[in-house]
């Protein structure tokens, strides 16, 4: 640098020092000049007198010295950010009692700039190490997170102005928002329970008695769930012995009956009065102090069987025969039959054990067959004394594949089939109420697996091993097989999982077995063998039952196509899981069909004159008739809009294309 340039620099610095002296109160008219820091300050260098801008409510005066500098201040300068101009307004900062200025440095254009640090060149064939790439990755993630958070904040701040994307759920607690959706983002707010909102530490207990498939009980359950209150439900269909306690406490067996600690409050009507009068808070505050007294309804005991079992009257004789009969493998009709015995040996064994004549012994043997202790090896007859061979139920080749079979068959006295059918439906109703969504399209299988209701259901399933199904009426039989199919599907998902491939589907539909009435049943056998009256399943050439199979005797007298909309196989495209009652099975099937079609099982393209039907109809088209018959049949179960569209297509007698929707095999979780 030559001498003339040095003098110019010294002169500039002197001028700046003089200005700084004036700004610090040693010259000028005083007052508080206005100035802001420039966005170019990051380059350092020249000193400027800068004051952070004051609040808008304060009026400021400029000293004469700053009239020229105002053009270089950035009080009105803006910064480019994301293609938008954002004015920088910073809070006022006082350096000391006499100085309202902060030094800002600006780089000198005539001074040499330092060279930037050299960046090592990386060849294309080389790869950066993790240590070298991590800062860039971290910066990228940080930037994306900041942008993501800013988008959420901006969206939340403007949701009142544009609530088209706002979806409010579960606002019964009088909270503003519990769940809302932003395009690409779902934010869920965890709600406080009623007790938490009131700041109460409840030590008491809310309990109520219910029954399965009870509308009023469902309303009470939903009320307490929406309030976020912990309660104890005593379902007298699950715990039948608690009904006696209910009658003793209330004088009636009607449900629901609600208790706050040991105090009986009433049913659904009383709960509605409590909610409408605003006295719910008072009731909750009464349970804040002491713990629940001993006089309150006790919590149900889980894992304990309170149902008594009676041994079969023939059990002692059967046990003796199992030990004494010559059970062995035999070649019969060119087939090797394992673990069988002859009818002659059986009659003689009964005569020796009971000390009876031959005629009475034959009657006893026939009674044993009716109770399914043993069967003919080929299913040819009930029992005949001649040269026929039989096999005990526990020796059947299919027995180990039955999931309601434990280490031995159930030798208790068979319970009435109508009692077991009713018990099964009530337990499964209770399971759905506790572990399925309100629309029954989603099921919590892990919760079911751990529940007391499912444990008791498995006991009922075991009782079905030797039940006499012939004693049921046609409607009772139809409801039982529908319920058994859906219950087995739930059990199969828990035990072997949802079917994903061809082999999984075979195991799920054909190899998952129950022993019912002395015979094996799979999901395929229940649907195609029993309910469809022994018709072939899709993509199969063989009927489930051979000629003379005794399970054909339990098939309904007439095929009802509505059964397809009452059966759930645990997939998303299947109908919603539900269970049926013997008295209302026909009307309940019609409701199931309407619900399924209105949920999207039929769609229309009016321009192309195309109807898109559920693939279930394609698989079982022989149950519905011709294509035109199918459309007329379906119309009875559509809503007004759907039936109007279909009627319009059918009115002009033109050609209608029928296509079938894809089937979603993923689980209904």
Q: Shortest CA distance to 89 belongs to which of 106, 71, 74?
A: 74
Can you tell me the mean pLDDT for 501-520? 92
Percent of the chain with pLDDT over 90: 57
What gap in Å lies between CA 595 and CA 65, rounded to an integer?
84
Please tell me the predicted confidence (pLDDT) of residue 343: 94
Q: Shortest CA distance to 265 belongs to which of 293, 297, 298?
A: 297
- The reported pTM is 0.72
Contact 632, 649 (CB under 8 A): no
What gap in Å lies between CA 355 and CA 548, rounded to an integer?
35
Please tell me the predicted confidence (pLDDT) of residue 79: 42
Which range has the worst mean pLDDT, 137-146, 294-303, 615-624? Answer: 137-146
146 vs 491, residue with greater confidence? 491
600 vs 180, residue with greater confidence? 600
Which range has the worst mean pLDDT, 195-204, 344-353, 604-613? Answer: 195-204
Can you tell me the mean pLDDT for 286-310? 81
* List of residues 6+ apart from 337 with CB closer than 8 A: 329, 330, 331, 377, 389, 391
Distances (CA, A) of 285 to 175, 196, 282, 578: 21, 12, 5, 39
Residues facing 660 on adjacent strands: 613
Question: pLDDT tens digits for 249-265?
Answer: 999 999 999 999 899 99
* List of residues 6+ apart from 330 with CB closer than 8 A: 336, 337, 340, 389
What gap in Å lies between CA 34 and CA 53, rounded to an integer?
7
For the chain, which domains are there? 194-287 (3.40.30.10), 314-397 (1.10.10.10), 417-589 (no CATH), 593-660 (no CATH)
Can you tell me the mean pLDDT for 597-616? 95
Buried-exposed string 151-170: b where 16+ CB fall within 10 A, e elsewhere = eeeebeeeeeeeeeeeeeee
Q: Which of 30-34, 219-223, 280-284 has the highest mean pLDDT?
A: 219-223
Please tell me the predicted confidence (pLDDT) of residue 429: 97
Question: pLDDT tens digits for 639-668?
Answer: 999 999 999 999 988 899 999 999 999 999
What gap in Å lies between CA 311 and CA 333, rounded to an integer?
37
Question: pLDDT tens digits for 380-439?
Answer: 888 988 889 999 999 999 999 999 998 889 999 999 999 999 999 999 999 999 999 999
Q: Shortest CA distance to 426 belongs to which of 487, 467, 489?
A: 487
Tell me if residue 39 falls in helix, strand or coil. Answer: helix
Can you tell me the mean pLDDT for 305-319? 87
What gap in Å lies between CA 86 and CA 92, rounded to an integer?
18
Please tell me the predicted confidence (pLDDT) of residue 200: 56
Q: Residues 505, 506, 510, 511: what is their CA dihedral angle, to the nearest 10 degrees?
A: -110
- E strands within 99-168? 102-106
**How many H helices and E strands in the chain?**
20, 19
514 vs 294, residue with greater confidence? 514
Which range has the worst mean pLDDT, 179-188, 287-296, 502-511, 592-601? Answer: 179-188
Question: What stretches of 371-465 show up as alpha helix (H) in DSSP?
Answer: 417-435, 445-449, 452-463
């Amino acid at each position: 640098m030559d001498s003339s340039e040095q003098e110019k620099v010294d002169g500039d610095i002197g001028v700046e020092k003089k200005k700084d002296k004036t700004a610090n109160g040693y010259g000028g008219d005083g007052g508080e000049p206005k100035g802001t820091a420039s966005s170019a300050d990051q380059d350092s260098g020249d000193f400027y007198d800068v004051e952070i801008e004051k609040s808008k409510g304060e009026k400021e005066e400029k000293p004469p010295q700053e009239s020229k500098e105002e053009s270089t201040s950035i009080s009105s300068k803006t910064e480019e950010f994301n293609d938008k101009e954002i004015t920088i307004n910073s809070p006022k900062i006082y350096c000391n009692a006499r100085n309202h200025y902060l030094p800002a440095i600006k780089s000198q254009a005539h001074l040499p700039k330092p060279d930037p640090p050299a960046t090592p060149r990386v060849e294309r064939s080389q790869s950066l190490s993790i240590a070298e790439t991590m800062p860039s990755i971290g910066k990228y993630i940080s930037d994306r997170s900041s942008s993501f958070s800013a988008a959420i904040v901006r969206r939340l701040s403007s949701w009142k102005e544009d609530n088209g994307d706002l979806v409010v759920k579960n606002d019964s607690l009088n909270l503003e928002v519990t769940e809302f959706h932003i395009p690409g983002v779902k934010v869920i707010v965890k709600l406080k329970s009623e007790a938490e909102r009131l700041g109460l530490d409840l030590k008491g207990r809310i309990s109520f008695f219910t029954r399965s498939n009870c509308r009023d009980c469902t309303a009470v359950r939903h009320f307490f769930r929406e309030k976020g209150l912990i309660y104890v439900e005593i379902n007298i269909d699950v715990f039948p012995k608690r009904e006696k306690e209910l009658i003793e406490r209330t004088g009636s067996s009607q449900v629901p009956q609600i208790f706050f600690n040991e105090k009986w409050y009433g049913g659904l009507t009383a709960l509605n009065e409590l909610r409408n009068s605003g006295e719910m808070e008072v009731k909750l505050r009464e349970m804040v102090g002491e713990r629940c007294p001993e006089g309150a309804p006790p919590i149900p005991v889980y894992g304990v069987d309170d149902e008594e079992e009676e041994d079969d009257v023939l059990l002692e004789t059967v046990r003796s025969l199992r030990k004494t009969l010559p059970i062995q493998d035999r070649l019969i009709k060119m087939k090797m039959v394992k673990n069988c015995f002859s009818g002659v040996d059986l009659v003689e064994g009964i005569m020796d054990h009971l000390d009876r004549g031959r005629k009475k012994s034959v009657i006893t043997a026939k009674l044993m067959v009716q109770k399914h202790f043993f069967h003919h090896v080929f299913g040819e007859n009930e029992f005949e004394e001649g040269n026929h061979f039989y096999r005990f139920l526990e020796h059947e080749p299919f027995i180990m594949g039955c999931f309601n079979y434990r280490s031995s068959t159930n030798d208790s006295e068979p319970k009435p089939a109508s009692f077991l059918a009713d018990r099964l439906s009530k337990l499964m109703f209770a399971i759905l109420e506790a572990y399925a969504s309100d629309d029954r399209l989603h099921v919590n299988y892990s919760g079911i697996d751990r529940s007391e209701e499912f444990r008791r259901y498995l006991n009922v399933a075991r009782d079905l091993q030797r039940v006499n199904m012939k004693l049921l009426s046609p409607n009772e039989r139809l409801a039982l097989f529908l319920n058994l199919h859906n219950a087995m599907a739930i059990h199969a998902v828990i035990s072997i999982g949802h079917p994903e491939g061809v082999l999984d589907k075979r195991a799920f539909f054909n190899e998952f077995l129950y022993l019912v009435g002395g015979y094996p049943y799979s999901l395929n056998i229940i649907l195609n063998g029993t309910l469809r009256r022994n018709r072939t399943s899709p993509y199969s050439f063989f009927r489930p039952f051979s000629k003379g199979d005794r399970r054909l005797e339990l098939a309904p007298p007439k095929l009802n196509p509505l059964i397809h909309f009452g059966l759930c196989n645990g997939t998303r495209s299947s109908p919603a899981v539900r269970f049926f009652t013997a008295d209302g099975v026909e009307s309940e099937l019609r409701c199931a069909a309407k619900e399924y079609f209105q949920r999207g099982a039929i769609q229309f393209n009016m321009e192309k004159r195309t109807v898109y039907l559920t693939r279930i109809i394609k698989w079982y088209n022989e149950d519905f008739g011709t294509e035109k018959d199918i459309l007329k049949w379906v119309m009875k179960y559509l809503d007004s809009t759907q039936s109007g569209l279909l009627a319009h297509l059918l009115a002009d007698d033109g050609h209608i294309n029928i296509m079938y929707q894809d089937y979603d095999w993923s689980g209904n979780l």
